[in-house]
Structure 1
Amino acid sequence: MKKLLIGMLSIVVLTTNLRADEGMWLPWLLKSQTTEAMKKKGLKLTPDQLYDLNKSSLKDAIVWFGGGCTGEIVSPNGLVLTNHHCGYDYISKLSSSADNILDNGFWAKNYQEERPVAGLSVTFVVRVDDITKEVLDAVKGLNEKDRAEKLQQLYKTITDRVTAGTHYEAQCREMYKGNAYYVFTFERFNDVRLVGTPPQNIGKFGGETDNWMWPRHTGDFSMFRVYMSKDGKPAKYSADNIPLKAKHHLPINLKGIKSGDYAMIMGFPGRTNRYEFSQGVKIATDLVDPTIVALREIRLKAWKEEMNKDTDIRLKLSGNYASISNYWKYFRGEAEQLKNNKVFELKQKEEKAFGAWATSKPEYKNLLSDVAKAFGEYQPISLQSIYLNEGILAPTIMKYVQYASMLEDAKKDGDATKIESLKTRILTATGSLPYDEPIVKADKKIFKEILLLYNKNIAADQKAPYFKEVILGYGKTPEEAIANYTDFVFENSVFANEGMAKAFISAPRSSILNNDIAFKHFDAFRKHYNATYKDKVADYYEKTGALGRLYIKGLMEMQPNKEFYADANSSLRLTYGNVQSYMKYPLYTTLDEVIAKNIKYKDNPEFAISPRLLELYNKKDYGRYADKNGKLPTCFLSNNDITGGNSGSPVIDGEGRIIGLAFDGNWEAMSGNIHFDPKNKRTINVDIRYVLWLIEKYGEAGNIINEMTIVQ
């Protein structure tokens, strides 16, 4: 009986320890309550070993990769490890049908073979300083419009001050919806080179079918190197630059994982809205998310048809396709899980408790009624900005028109230097807008289908007058009119041809632009939005911004003993937890299952594998990377709290060593940007043993392995 009781108590303790921990914590602000919880879960490091301004610490090995992902330094010589999908767009742009490294993989055997990547930067956090008092004193008593203007002025003053006399950059970030402020000082390196990548049938194995799903078997990693000038400073690409001498790099733990092991993730999570009001949840679930899904689906379908016909077109569109499809599926999942997890009802419950507390508090007692009024005014027009940005302006032809419009506006200012500078930037940007004939064909379908959806879903009294003229003037039915109008636009606009569009941008003429049908289309929808909805939408964001700031302030007063974390905003964060499965699913996957999936879905190209991977599998030459059962692990689960932007983040054990790379979240918890579900929230990670096995055995790149510090 005593043994049974002890056993039962052990289970209770273990279950409590393995509960998913909510929070994307600011590592320089960890309080004793949080650090003690981290220690109980298995952390052996001190807070100073995580973040220190004066000595080497973990934060010095974590990089903001390309402004949208996370990477980590894994060697003394600036070697960066991140996800394959984070490097995907850069890898695809380095690929061609003659040198198809996206499909075939690439492994540099020395520094000379590493490939420069145009437009890619890697950024380190140098320091973070609290500027809350300075900011709040400066904006006290201001209305929202004046407050926003004052903040921009103040941000400029502060960033200039902290970077004076240095090569550093700085950004001011608000936390808790404007209840706290920090200035981040960064060091940005722009000479970044590709070192290694598996072929995409490994790095993207499972494709969109498996995206956001578990079990998973994706070798989602790629490797780059940061270069610096000989005097140790960031510099633009030069053959004379040398590999970065890293301040700190993360060692690799090859001992493997088991359920309950400590797992910590550091990175740059993009955006969350955990303090959203219930009305915002309702709008996201019923209106915004389904609309984004429908509009993005139009682009994906049209592109896919052309990508399947030609390798060059596939390579040109692959980066854009991957970016759009990732969040197309995300918004599908978010809408579904917001409903499944009853997030609207949970938010209402939280608001009810707040309302009861606020009744006797003059500052807060009207807050929730003001929130209801603001959302009530916004809800009927909530799709206007979505249809403009995700719809009307989404076709590539509209991107060229927008660039031309920017030039036209610049010409009105009469600054020739600015015009030439803008031309250069636009022509550089259009390099990522391929517009070959098959892509124009797809763009025409996209243009038409978006207008059909606009006609179907936008209320008659909210439609642009120009659109109503199109419906009346181009056909007997709306469908016929939209089809005929689309033909007319693509037959007559200079922006329906890549060569003509770029020629126009090189030598813009107002008379041509103002008479171009595609520009008239763009200008009419833009003016309709600006005249009818822009101020209303801005007013909504001003009101809900102020109300959200007050709500968090009130929550902190209502729960003074609770440690609150700030919503993600692409600043450096830390989340801690354990290696843990959920539901009926396995904790980890193996290479055996990769082969099994390939056989099961033999007709689906997303599950194709290379002959070389099959050959290596048949040899079972796993060496030191095998688990205790002789299997090769591929991916595993942890209960960390992450979101977009954490892609590529290291999963770190209790002693500061890498056990994996975070690359995805699970379908059942896709309401996570708005609500944390401790029962089902999981992070999907590629096992570091699979990463190193692929580098050594598949890529035959022992030179890369030899750079790293490996703990066996």
Structure 2
Amino acid sequence: MRNALVAALMLSSGAALADEGQWQPYQMPAIADKLKQRGIDIPAQQLADLSQYPMNAVVGLGYCTASFVSPKGLVVTNHHCAYRAIQYNTKPEHNYLELGFLASTLDKEPSAGPNERLYVTEAVTDVTAKVTANLPTEPLARYEAIEANKKALIKECEADDNYRCSVRSFHNGLEYYLIKQLIIRDVRLVYAPPESVGGYGGDIDNFEFPRHSGDFTFLRAYVGKDGKPAPYSEDNVPYVPKSYLKVNADGVKAGDGVFVAGYPGSTSRYRLTSELEFASDWLYPVLADRYQRQIDTIEAMGADNEDISIKYAGTLAGNANRMKKLNGLLDGFRATDIAGIKQSREDAFVDWLKQSPAMNPKLVQELESLIAENQEAIQTSFYFKNAQSSTLLNAANRLYRLAKEKQKPDAQRESGYQERDMKLFEASLKRINRSFEQSVDKTLWLQDIQAYQGQSHKVAVLDELLTYDNHASLQDKIAGMYSLTGLTDADTRLQWMDKSPEDFENSADPFIRLAVALYDENMALEKAEKELAGRLSMARPDYMAAVIDYYKANDWPVYPDANGTLRITYGMVDGYQSRDALYKQPFTRLEGITAKHTGVEPFNAPQKVLDAIAKGDMGEHKVESVYADGRGLICRLFSCLDKPEEFNSVPVNFLSSVDTTGGNSGSPVFNGKGELVGLNFDSTYEAITKDWFFNPTITRAVHVDIRYVLWMMDKVDNAQNLIEELDVVRD
């Protein structure tokens, strides 16, 4: 049975009709026929052009995706993506996380925080030749040469300081692209529903379906009066984007083609089977154990302390999401033999290599050797790095490193410590107090130290620093460090940015002293990592070049693993067979909110939402049916119940077969004409393993339906001022 499943999934993974692929925009013309098959009528060439609608309306937040939806710089994204902005403005006297927020006029829109940014990608340029030309073969020198070439390209690109540039590796170093992004530095909070709407169902419903989450928030981009990006100022004016998305109030039906544009974070689909097994057998369980420990601690300490609860709300939500994803990955690996699938494909690839005279038959074997070294290094350093997890020690480590790096010419400094990085460096030091409480930080750090002490990979210099005499406990020693440090004060932290290495080395501050003591060991560890990265920078590109040739020979999709850069993925609105005799419909309804409501978090819908549903106050947002003539691929392969002919409600969330991952949160979901019909915010539990392997029969993304967003704005929160800004269209 298992062999049959492996064979079936191998076949489906390469099927031409599978909606697999996180495509670079320039690749759109090459898959124009596939877009047409899915009913996506907007020209592929238009999607490839970042200066045209709709791609020039898609923006990044640095960790999520968003999009412009008005000529006044109004931006829509997920509630969980704007969490920091809401948390920044939340105080015990006005808890916007709990109550929600709506600015009735522009002058009432508060700053989303000094570190919030919007990034508008304006150009993506292939710079492979400039990065990889004449590289040395010695590993460390090779790594440093690649970094130097990237820095030179970035410096030239950032001649105008309104832009942020980066050079990203694609196909594991086979290709490099220069990404040029306009930075908008003044971002403000406009409208956010309560968390009991934006995160309805909480961790229980996370990665699950059916869902009823109103995971949306509106922000606004501001610039100086000259139209150029500027830091926050009361004199700033709303940014006028080059274009903004049309909002289709009629939404989509089952079977409709859709596409998503955004910034997916990371996937590992081209990694070797041994790398998957390392993740499933060691890395994921270890990470899950740490996240759960932190969740339990923060929940316990925040239960009776609202200040802790507010400060660590983002940390708690992030850890809960990571925890659910890790468990989903581990469950997925147990449910489906993905390692077996990958190994079968890997074996077939090795056989193909042996039959290709121009190829190196030992390519995989040579890469495996380096990967084994890398995995051992990860295990050796994991607990040591975590044992430095104190927020204050992390700040001290970075500040001392900055003092050391400032002794070098700017071009030779490590990335993150160059002059271009100083504004963000300073901002990161300032924001510490927004999510820092000494008792919590102390407890979490002590837990990481104890985890380090309980395992075999030890570092002598840290062991020596952690020793204490018979009259004091480790807890007492750590408590003493927090009581004696000055780094809890933001101004003091900022002053250390201008200190010399000698100032650090003569300091009595316990966290500064610890950072100085650990510096040589940290640098030695970093050097070893760079040397190994230099060796991998030769092996991985050779491997990927051969893999691409192999994929093309089999007519399989060839796209790079996600790496945080702008991508497009396409699919269709469709449910799925989650397990035997259970088919999940692609849409959920308002009434599902009431059905789940218990009055207890996380199923504690606001009374105003319940009242609007009870009154049947749906207006023009109500739809009769969300089903077209067919019910998608799954119902053509499996026996499904007769489709319901009537819907008679407002759709809340819906499923599609688009290929997304972390970072795609907040991504606009487009209909075939390129109009906004939803926001991506999650994946189904069965689909979590798509980071390693795409299975088209169960891979589904979860979206907020734009009709629910409009209903909330219109019938619940009276956000008419914002609705009037939108370009709302109908079919």
TM-score (norm 2): 0.85
Q: Which segment drifts farther, 441-450 or 498-507?
A: 498-507
The corresponding residue for 2:644 is none
Give the CA deviation at 1:536.
4.5
- Partner residue, 2:440: 442
CA RMSD of aligned residues (A): 3.2
Aligned CA distance change for structure 1 residues 495 and 220 (closer, same or farther; 3 Å)? farther
1:97 to 2:96 alignment: no
CA separation of 1:194/1:501 partners in 2, compared to 1, >3 Å: closer, same or farther?
closer
Q: 1:227 to 1:349 in 2, by over 3 A?
A: same
Aligned to 2:572: 578
Partner of 2:719: 701
Q: 1:451 to 1:154 in 2, by over 3 A?
A: closer
- Counterpart residue number, 1:5: none
Matching of residues 349-364 of structure 1 within 5 Å: 349-359=344-354, 360-361=356-357, 363-364=359-360
Shift of 1:469: 5.3
Match of 1:21 in 2: 19
Report the CA distance between 1:328 and its aligned residue. Answer: 2.9
What amino acid does structure 1 have at the position aligned with 2:535?
K
Superposition map of 1:237-252 within 5 A: 237-252=232-247
1:581-604 per-position Cα deviation (integer Å, ceiling 9, x unaligned): 1122221212211122122xx44x
For 1:3, the equivalent position in structure 2 comes to none
1:44 corresponds to which letter in structure 2?
D
Q: 1:285: how far off?
A: 0.7
| 1:40 paired to 2:22 | no
Q: Encode CA deviations 1:328-381: one digit per residue, 9 max, x unaligned.
A: 332232233234332222222222112112225464211121123223334444
Residue aligning to 2:368: 372
**Matched residue of 1:646: which SS?**
coil
Q: Is 1:657 aligned with 2:675?
A: yes
When the two structures are aligned, how many residues end up with a matched partner? Answer: 676
- How far residue 219 of structure 1 moved from its aligned partner, in angstroms, is 0.5
Map 1:210-229 to 2 at 5 A.
Answer: 210-229=205-224
> 2:429–2:493: 8 Å Cα contact kept in structure 1?
no
SS of 1:344 mapped into structure 2: helix
The residue aligned with 2:119 is 123
What is the DSSP-based 3-state SS (H/G/I as helix, E as strand, rest coil) of the residue aligned with 1:185?
A: strand
* 1:403–1:426 contact (8 Å) kept in structure 2: no
Alpha-carbon distance in structure 2 between the residues aligned to 1:687 and 1:445: 41
Give the CA deviation at 1:638.
0.6
SS in 2 for 1:39: helix
Which residues of 2 match residues 458-477 of structure 1 at below 5 A? Answer: 458-459=455-456, 462-466=457-461
Flag the 1:495–1:261 CA change in 2: closer, same or farther, 3 A: farther
1:148 corresponds to which residue?
Answer: 143
- Secondary structure of 1:565's aligned partner: coil
Deviations 1:403-462 (A, max 9, x none): 5544664798899xx9999999766434433389x9333333323322332233x22xx3
Structure 1 residue aligned with 2:663, among 625, 641, 645? Answer: 645
Distance 1:544 1:675, change over 3 A: farther
**Corresponding residue of 1:633:** 651
Superposed, 1:190-339 pairs within 5 Å as 190-339=185-334
Distance 1:345 1:175, change over 3 A: same
Q: Which moved more, 1:518-527 or 1:570-579?
A: 518-527
* Conserved 8 A contact 2:65-2:663: yes
2:566 is the alignment partner of 1:567: no
**1:517 Cα offset (Å):** 5.2
For residue 455 of structure 1, what is the aligned residue in structure 2?
453
CA separation in 1, counterparts of 2:79 and 2:60? 15
Matched-pair contact (CA < 8 Å) for 1:490–1:496:
no
Counterpart position of 1:674: 692
Question: What is residue 687 of structure 1 aligned with on the other side?
Answer: 705
> Which shifted more, 159-168 or 630-639?
159-168
Take 1:420 and 1:173, find their aligned partners in 2: how far apart are those partners? 20
Which has the larger displacement, 322-331 or 659-668?
322-331
Residue type at the aligned position of 1:311: E
Counterpart residue identity of residue 573, structure 1: R
Q: Is the 8 A contact 1:21 1:641 kept in 2?
A: yes
Is the Cα contact below 8 Å between 2:586 and 2:654 reproduced in 1? yes
2: CA distance, partners of 1:334 / 1:505:
41
Alignment identity in percent? 29
In 2, the alpha carbon distance for the partners of 1:542 and 1:361 equals 27
SS at match of 1:548: helix
1:597 aligns with 2:596: yes
Change (3 A) 1:383 1:234: same
CA contact (8 A) 2:143 2:537 kept: no
In the alignment, the residues of structure 2 paired with residue 696 and residue 249 of structure 1 have an alpha-carbon distance, to the nearest angstrom, of: 21
Contact 2:383 2:451 in 1 (8 A): no
Deviation at 1:102, TM superposition (A): 1.8
Cα–Cα, structure 1 residues 579 and 326, in superposed 2: closer, same or farther, change >3 Å? Answer: same
Contact 1:20 1:640 in 2 (8 A): no
Contact 1:194 1:223 in 2 (8 A): yes
> Which residue is 2:341 aligned to?
346
Aligned partner of residue 672 in structure 1, secondary structure: helix
**Partner secondary structure for residue 707 of structure 1:** coil
Query: Which stretch has the larger CA shift, 579-588 or 36-45?
Result: 579-588
SS of alignment partner, residue 282 of structure 2:
helix
1:489 maps onto 2:484 in alignment: no
Query: 1:505 & 1:463 partners in 2: Cα distance?
Result: 33
- Secondary structure in 2 aligned to 1:329? helix
The answer (yes or no) to whether the contact 2:384–2:459 under 8 Å persists in 1 is no
Cα deviations by residue, 1:486-506 (Å, 9 ceiling, x for unpaired): 222213444667656864764
Q: Distance in 2 between matches of 1:454 and 1:682?
A: 39
After superposition, what is the alpha-carbon deviation per residue over 1:178-201, rounded to whole angstroms, capped at 9, x for unaligned?
222222222221122111100111
Distance 1:378 1:175 in 2: 20
Residue 433 of structure 1 aligns to a residue whose secondary structure is: helix
Q: Which residue of 1 aligns with 2:431?
A: 432
Whole-angstrom CA distance in 2 between matches of 1:53 and 1:687: 25
Q: Contact (CA 8 Å) 1:447, 1:486: kept in 2 or not? A: no
Quote how far apart the aligned CAs of 1:700 are.
0.7
Cα distance in 2, alignment partners of residues 24 and 411 from structure 1 = 39
Q: Which deviates more from structure 2 when the two are superposed, residues 263-272 or residues 316-325?
A: 316-325
Give distance in 2, aligned partners of 1:297 and 1:552. 36
Asked if structure 2 preserves the Cα contact closer than 8 Å seen for 1:289 and 1:335, the reply is: yes
Which letter maps to 2:442?
K
> Is the contact between residue 139 and residue 532 of structure 2 (CA under 8 Å) also seen in structure 1?
no
Gaps of 5+ in 2: 1-13, 411-416, 578-582, 625-646
Quote the Cα distance in structure 2 between the aligned partners of 1:83 and 1:421. Answer: 29
Using the TM superposition, give the Cα deviation of residue 220 of structure 1 relative to its aligned residue in structure 2, in angstroms: 0.4
Whole-Å separation in 2 of the counterparts to 1:484 and 1:319? 32
Contact 1:268 1:571 in 2 (8 A): yes
Aligned residue for 2:190, secondary structure, equals strand
Distance in 2 separating the partners of 1:170 and 1:423: 15
Aligned partners of 1:414 and 1:549: how far apart in 2? 31
CA offset at residue 520 of structure 1?
A: 5.8
After superposition, the Cα gap between the structure-2 partners of 1:624 and 1:435, relative to the gap in structure 1 and judged at 3 Å, is: closer
**C-alpha displacement of 1:313:** 2.2
> What TM-score comes out, normalization by structure 1 length?
0.87
1:709 and 1:414 mapped to 2: Cα distance? 50
Q: Is the 8 A contact 2:140 2:530 kept in 1?
A: no
Q: Name the stretch that deviates more: 154-163 or 187-196.
A: 154-163
8 Å contact from structure 1 (residues 45, 654) kept in 2: yes
Local SS of the residue matching 2:584: coil
Gaps of 5+ in 1: 1-15, 476-480
The answer to whether the 8 A contact 1:265-1:651 is kept is: yes
Counterpart secondary structure, 1:373? helix
Q: 1:388 aligns with which of 381, 384, 388?
A: 384
1:550 is matched with 542
Q: Which moved more, 1:658-667 or 1:241-250?
A: 241-250
